[in-house]
Structure 1
Amino acid sequence: MKSIRLLAPVLLGAMVSVAGCSSSSDEEEKAVMANMGAQQLYNRAKQSMEVGNFSAAAQTLGALDSRYPFGPLSHQVQLDLIYSYYKSGKSDETLATIDRFIRLNPNHSDVDYAYYMRGLTNMESDSNLFQDLMNIDRTDRDPSKSRQAFEDFRRLMQQYPDSKYAADARKRMLHIKDRLARYEIAIARFYMRRHAYVAAANRGRYVIEHFPESTQIQQALEIMVSSYEQLGLDDLRGNAMKTLKLNFPESDFIS
Structure 2
Amino acid sequence: MAVVKSGALRQALGTALLVSVLTGCSVIGLGGKQTKEAPLDSYTPEQIYEMGEKELEVQKNPKASLRYFQEVERLYPYTEWAKRGLIMQAYTLHQTKKYDEARDAAQRYLDFYPGDEDAAYAQYLLALSYYDQIDEVGRDQGLTFQALQALRVVIEQYPDSEYAKSAMLKFDMAFDQLAAKEMEIGRYYLKRGNYAAAINRFRTVVQDYQTTSYTAEALHRLVECYLALGFTDEAQTAAAILGYNYQSSPFYEDSFKLLKGRGLEPKVKGDGWLAKVYRQMIRGEWL
> TM-score category by the smaller chain?
0.7 to 0.9
Question: Could you list the runs of 5+ residues in structure 2 that have no partner in the other structure?
Answer: 1-25, 27-34, 258-287
Distance in 1, Cα, partners of 2:156 & 2:237: 36
The structure carrying a bigger helix percent of its residues is 1
Sequence identity (%)? 27
Q: Is the 8 Å Cα contact of residues 140 and 187 (structure 1) preserved in structure 2?
A: no
Task: Give the alignment's TM-score, normalised by structure 2.
Answer: 0.70
Aligned counterpart for 2:95 among listed residues 81, 87, 92: 87
Superposed structure 1 runs of 4+ greater than 4 Å apart: 28-32
Cα distance in 2 between the residues matched to 1:155 and 1:167:
13
Equivalences, count? 219
Larger Rg: 2
> C-alpha root-mean-square deviation of aligned residues, in Å?
2.1
Bigger mean CA offset, 155-164 vs 29-38: 29-38
**Alignment partner of 1:48 is 2:50:** no
Quote the Cα distance in structure 2 between the aligned partners of 1:240 and 1:72: 59
Contact 2:141 2:178 in 1 (8 A): yes
Return the alpha-carbon distance in structure 2 between the equivalents of residues 193 and 162 of structure 1: 47
Contact 2:41 2:75 in 1 (8 A): no
The 5 Å alignment of 1:37-186 reads 37-51=44-58, 52-127=60-135, 138-186=136-184
Aligned residue in 1 for 2:43: 36
Closer/same/farther in 2, CA of residues 155 and 30 from structure 1, 3 Å limit: farther
1:253 maps to what in 2? 255
SS of 2:256's partner is: coil
Q: CA deviation at 1:144?
A: 1.4
Distance in 1 (CA, whole Å) between partners of 2:36 and 2:93 is 20
Q: 1:237 to 1:74 in 2, by over 3 A?
A: same
In the alignment, is the contact (CA less than 8 A) between 1:191 and 1:197 conserved in 2? yes
3-state SS, counterpart of residue 117 of structure 2: coil
Give 2:191's aligned residue.
193
Contact 1:184 1:204 in 2 (8 A): yes
**Structure with greater contact order relative to length (CA < 8 Å, sep ≥ 6):** 1
Q: Does the residue aligned with 1:253 lie in a helix, a strand or coil?
A: helix
Question: What's the CA shift string for 1:80-112, capped at 9, x where partnerless?
Answer: 111111111110110010111111222222211
| Worse overlay, 185-194 or 175-184 | 185-194
Once the two structures are TM-superposed, the CA of residue 253 in structure 1 deviates from its matched residue by 3.4
